[in-house]
Chain A
Amino acid sequence: QKEVEQDPGPLSVPEGAIVSLNCTYSNSAFQYFMWYRQYSRKGPELLMYTYSSGNKEDGRFTAQVDKSSKYISLFIRDSQPSDSATYLCAMSEDAGNNRKLIWGLGTSLAVNP
């Protein structure tokens, strides 16, 4: 079993839809959770960074962490064609400079006009 599982998709939705992206993990020591967006041929861009359980909102994006279920989610409201990208979850046990991120495979999202 991989430490982090993420459905690679592809996921295709119409413009304006609510998108739900998810990752599950097996290591209960993970405390820091991140979502990155990666456009084709570009580096990953940090979207959301959360510590422990709970919700965090930033504009159209909401990140949720449920440590009891070892499950994290990213919701995108009013999705736009510009949201079409690969979304990667990543997590770590600590937040120091030597931390190692454990990544999901990434979910490919297409938002159709």
Chain B
Amino acid sequence: EAGVTQFPSHSVIEKGQTVTLRCDPISGHDNLYWYRRVMGKEIKFLLHFVKESKQDESGMPNNRFLAERTGGTYSTLKVQPAELEDSGVYFCASSQGTAWGSTDTQYFGPGTRLTVL
């Protein structure tokens, strides 16, 4: 079974440009999450989709970040315009989804390393 995949592996852009990251979850997983790790810090939650709906976007840093999951399959995370502090590794994770209030295992992708110059 294929794991979570992310594209691209690495993106280098200039401040003010736009970047779009893509995540393909494990097939059949309703839950999709975005996380970010900036240098020297821990991995931080950004947002959570259940199918195509945003369940929790409390971790999104500001309105320069836009996440979508049209059709409830793959997801994109767009940063526009990018700033220097957006540099980091963006991870996507997915989980199967069980009864509300329970917990299930999140499986992570390899991450996209974003460098903003």
Instruction: Decide if A and B are genuine partners.
Output: no
Interface residues of A (CB under 8 A from B): none
